[in-house]
Amino acid sequence: MTSRKLITLFILIAAIGTGSYIVNDHSQKQAANEQRLQEYLESGGIDERQSEHESTGPQAGAQAVDFRLPVFGTDDEKSLSDFQGDFVVMNFWASWCPPCREEMPDFIQFSEDYENEDVQVVGVNMTTTERNEDSVAQFIEDFPMPFPTLMDQDGDVYNSYQVMGIPITYVIDPEGEIVIRRQGYVNYELLKEFLAEAREQYEQS
């Protein structure tokens, strides 16, 4: 057999082998796709892996990171999960922060106006950034808060929520999912808008 015929024969054998591999690979992928489709239909058309909350985190759409902190002025401690079932408006603040002082009267008014509407305001003091606890006490004396102030004494919540600056306000739905993360000053009207948005999103989910 001539060298030209041998080369032609080798090319033909290689082409047949490649074609068989492609057909086999396609068949395997098709079978896998059909299996996934069957699982999808058996679950009622819901991809359970995507419907579950896959992670916690500090961003909108994630489950809020739970924590437990002492309540200022008491011997009690509270967890974020203690408020589950209500819409939670959580505000991170410090006594040295001018926007925190400016917005606090709005949080107080908002808390009083919505106390009977499944809404819980929670303050989180960035205690590790304070000069001392007397500064916190003076702030709370200046702005008597009708809602609990939780003391982040070790900075764990500060780190978990990746606080880069304050104030920061979170709105969390009754199932613990973060709906809104807002960094910077907010007022009463914005709080109302945030709550309305959270309610609408929760009712649609």
Asked if 124 and 152 touch (Cβ cutoff 8 Å), the reply is yes
Predicted pLDDT at 42: 52
Using CA atoms, how far apart are residues 50 and 96, in angstroms rounded to an integer? 42
List pLDDT tens digits, range 135-155: 999 999 999 999 999 999 999
- Is 8 strand, coil or helix? helix
pLDDT of residue 97: 98
pLDDT of residue 205: 82
For residue 103, how far is the Cα from the chain centroid? 23
User: Residue 6: its pLDDT value, please?
Assistant: 47
Coil, strand, or helix at residue 50? helix
47 close to 40: Cβ distance less than 8 angstroms: yes
- Residue 173's pLDDT is 98
Measured CA to CA, the distance from residue 89 to residue 35 in angstroms comes to 44
Residue 74 and residue 62: Cα distance in Å, rounded?
Answer: 31
| DSSP string for 60-108 | TTSBPPP-EEEBTTSS-EEEGGGGBTBEEEEEEE-TT-HHHHHHHHHHH
The pLDDT tens digits for 21-69 are 444 444 554 554 455 445 544 544 433 333 344 599 999 999 999 999 9
Residue 103 near residue 187 (C-beta atoms within 8 A): yes
By residue count, the chain amounts to 205
Instruction: Report phi then psi at 119, rounded to 5.
Output: -125, 130
Helices 188-204 and 98-113 cross at an angle (nearest 10°) of 60
3-state secondary structure of 56: strand
Count Cα neighbours of 183 within 13 Å in the Cβ-side half-sphere: 9
Q: Is the overall model pTM greater than 0.75, yes or no?
A: no
Q: What is the DSSP string of 141-196?
A: HHS--SS-EEE-SSSHHHHHTT--SS-EEEEE-TTSBEEEEEES---HHHHHHHHH
| Residue 15 reports pLDDT greater than 60 | no
User: Taking Cα atoms as reference points, which of 198, 151, 178 lies closest to residue 65?
Assistant: 178
Q: Which of 12-16, 98-102, 145-149 has the lowest mean pLDDT?
A: 12-16
Q: Is 47 helix (H, G, I), strand (E, B) or coil?
A: coil
